[in-house]
Amino acid sequence: MSESLILTWRTHALDSGMHLVHSDHPLQFFVGRDDAGHARVVIRGTVKPQRPHLSGLVVVDRFEDQSGKWNLTLALQDAKFEEVFVRLADHLHARTASAPNEAHATDQVSSVIEEWRRLLRARPLGVLTMEELRGLVGELWLVLNWFTRDRSLAVALEGWLGPLGLPQDFWYEQDGHHEAKCIGPSTTRVRISSAEQLDPPEMQLLVLLVAGTDEAQAGAINLPNLVGRVRAALAEAGESDQPLRDRLEHMGVDLEDPFYRDTWFVVSRVESYRVDEDFPAIRASELPDGIEAVRYQVALGAVTPARTASIEVG
């Protein structure tokens, strides 16, 4: 990822106006806010860009300025999605940085926006697969029990970005990216769904043992149970549960479905791994042009030296 864009945003997040991201890049990227205070990105160059559609929450515009340069602007309309929007801008900046020329970079902007549009479009309501449900239960358990050790539940929830389609499941300003993998008792590998997932230069991988069980077992949890706990804790703190509802809606979860009520799990262990340059991974920043849709598996037995903790739960 392009930390220069994120640093520029963090430095000027409360300022008005636009700020140039200083880097060696075929296009000029500006980040900041428009006159209404909305988060905004401007991509500037000499090549006329396409005017792609992203979503109803992001207004995309295109115009030629007095100097003859073309400006593609993206303005976010809902502040609660600001963190996701900044990650989109960061991804655009990173994916176009290695383009051989400005024309190629401009084409890449449209391609990346189309990928995000397809990724973030609403999913029809339906039942998750068992593995999807295991992952959702494990991630929500982390929100409630792990990431609240150093922050409030509301902040922990806002940093849960996986259900919104981002490559990593969690991001917090204090400690960066975290990716969660929830496995059953006999699993010895974790699936990595893209070259972007373990791409940040340093991040944490959390592997949770989330076994299927029955309601009578001590520590048993199901999705409605966890959601109820989160909502109760948010209400007690005087916080809205809208971020939680947004994430469940985006995943197409209908909590009234009996599958979620009748399917129980128990979290029994959490292992953390340091993902750095020595961790075996396929990284988007190192892939040659033309390689896409990468998926692979990491054998947990091979990454034991990177393990920083193994904690039994309960």
Domain extents in the chain? 3-120, 130-312
Burial annotation 150-183 (CB, 10 A radius, 16+ → b, else e): ebebbebbbbbbbbbbbbbbbbbeeeebbbbbbb
Give per-residue pLDDT as tens, 89-120.
999 999 999 888 999 999 989 888 888 887 76
Class assignment of domain 3-120?
Answer: alpha beta
Indicate the pLDDT class of residue 3, thresholds 50, 70 and 90: low
Give per-residue pLDDT as tens, 46-93.
999 988 888 778 888 899 999 999 999 999 988 888 888 998 999 999
Indicate the pLDDT class of residue 37, thresholds 50, 70 and 90: confident
Burial class of 213 by CB neighbour count within 10 A (0 to 12, 13 to 18, 19+):
middle
